[in-house]
A and B are shown apart, each in its own frame.
Chain A
Amino acid sequence: MSVRVTLPAHLRTLARVDGEVKLDVNGEVTQRSVLDALEAAYPMLRGTIRDHETHERRAFLRFFACEEDLSNESPDARLPEAVATGAEPLLIIGAMAGG
């Protein structure tokens, strides 16, 4: 079963993908395992969602799923079952901001 991830438009352009990304995730489906799989498949996204070294989420990005803001959950917490089964996507969202 693939995990579905929706990227912000600028990261879709950077990764040269249209629409959702589908990823095979090993083990438990967590923020960390999904982002590990995402960055393995699309190395150009390294550093654009989370820090290269600390893996801390970039300040102006949020992680949403199933109408919940999961941004401040532990990166090792299990994501909702609907994300793990591919029924719902993990949404990576850029903060609304001007300029």
Chain B
Amino acid sequence: MSRVRVLVGTRKGAFVLTSDGKRESWDVSGPHFGGWEIYHVKASPADPNRIYASQSSGWFGQVIQRSSDGGRTWEPVGNKFAYDGPTGTHLWYDNTPHPWEFARVWHLEPSLTDPDTVYAGVEDAALFRSSDGGQNWQELPGLRTHPTASVWQPGAGGMCLHTILLDPSDPQRIYVAISAAGAFRSDDAGKTWKPINRGLRSEQIPNPTAEVGHCVHRLAMHPSRPGVLFMQKHWDVMRSDDGGESWRETSGNLPTDFGFPIDVHAHEPETIYVVPIKSDSEHYPPEGKLRVYRSRTGGNEWEALTKGLPQRDCYVNVLRDAMAVDSLDPCGVYFGTTGGQVYVSANSGDSWAPIVRDLPSVVAVEVQTLP
């Protein structure tokens, strides 16, 4: 019988949650790296025992951990993220030039085919790659040196590269997203990059339809249709059917189109999930009701999924990397909250149950479907 392994990053350590295919009874292991911020934990699609974790701390900086036995044991690997060549400047919050400074790894994206190859999205925004299992990291500098980079500006959370999507049909094609620069695409394996923000509209920047400057919170893709992208922006849920060349809004009847994560059902490429959040500054669910919204039409028509989720006095947030889907049938959907809950739905979102309720604030959730 298939199993699932949920990899949870929190503000104070990593946790591994495992269950059989019923997804009813769970084992919890952790905290791993207790006391450290774990921005992301993700496993290799090519080797489910190979897992990478981004571990960081204001005191001690960045550490990358690697497991080769499914998360039972870990070893620290390389943590040197040196920008390639002159760092240049981006804009600071006050519009003055500010030099690129490495702060942390937000997102680790293992290669689809090679367990030893992994990409890292970092703050200040840049893309790195390791081809030796995380021992050594090389920047792909074409992104940070893009002609628009000098006017990129951090969002409130820092100028982070938080999303990396690898196209399963074309190893040359990579999508990334940066807060608050926008979405970018490479068609040459990361050598050169193109902003793909046409159709986005952000009233918070001087030119609402500028080529860059949009606070993209998350991108999602179904592997069977890699040209179709879904986006949760600072405001607006968006969709592209042409690899990001153009976007159209699909917020439809959402109670608020602000939010952080967005994800796609494992078997239904037009079924997508978001968690609407009240903003600009509250960052908790509207009306104190934690609701996942599901669209079975690729956007525009949304239904609230509430069964098993708190429908009163709930004021948690769900961060951008804190939602994932498994590939069982029916598809499992998972998300973690800043209140330390990790919820699972074993029926595509129809009903939910907490796996754990009292972890540290959850930053990232990934899931592996294991034989």
Residues of chain A touching chain B, judged by Cβ–Cβ distance below 8 Å, are 8, 10-11, 14, 44, 46-49, 52-53, 58, 60-61, 94-95, 97, 99
Residues of A within 8 A of B61 (CB): 47-48, 58
23 contacts between A and B (CB under 8 A): A8-B59, A8-B60, A10-B36, A10-B60, A11-B60, A14-B76, A44-B63, A46-B79, A46-B80, A47-B61, A47-B79, A47-B80, A48-B60, A48-B61, A48-B63, A52-B80, A60-B58, A60-B59, A61-B59, A94-B59, A95-B59, A97-B58, A99-B58
Residues of chain B touching chain A, judged by Cβ–Cβ distance below 8 Å, are 35-36, 57-63, 76, 79-80, 82
Contacts A10-B35, A10-B36; A58 near B82 (Cβ below 8 A): no
From A8, A48, A58, residue with most partner B Cβ within 10 Å: A48
B63, chain A: closest CB distance, angstroms: 7
From B57, B60, B62, residue with most partner A Cβ within 10 Å: B60
The CA of A27 and the CA of B83, in the complex, are separated in Å by 33
The CA of A46 and the CA of B60, in the complex, are separated in Å by 10
Interface of B is mostly: loop
Residues of B within 8 A of A95 (CB): 59
A-B contact count (CB 8 A): 40
Residues of A within 8 A of B80 (CB): 46-47, 52
In the complex, the chain B residue whose C-beta lies closest to that of A15 is B76
The CA of A60 and the CA of B79, in the complex, are separated in Å by 18
Contacts A10-B36, A14-B76; A52 near B59 (Cβ below 8 A): no
A72, chain B: closest CB distance, angstroms: 18
The CA of A46 and the CA of B82, in the complex, are separated in Å by 13
A30, chain B: closest CB distance, angstroms: 22
Residues of B within 8 A of A99 (CB): 58
Looking at the complex, which one of A11, A53, A60, A61 makes contact with B82 (CB distance below 8 Å)?
A53
From A47, A58, A95, residue with most partner B Cβ within 10 Å: A47
In the complex, the chain B residue whose C-beta lies closest to that of A11 is B60
In the complex, the chain A residue whose C-beta lies closest to that of B34 is A13
A35, chain B: closest CB distance, angstroms: 14
B35, chain A: closest CB distance, angstroms: 6
Q: Are A58 and B59 in contact (CB under 8 A)?
A: yes
Residues of B within 8 A of A94 (CB): 59-60
Residues of B within 8 A of A47 (CB): 61-62, 79-80
The CA of A84 and the CA of B156, in the complex, are separated in Å by 46
In the complex, the chain A residue whose C-beta lies closest to that of B62 is A47
The CA of A52 and the CA of B137, in the complex, are separated in Å by 13
Residues of A within 8 A of B82 (CB): 52-53
The CA of A99 and the CA of B62, in the complex, are separated in Å by 17
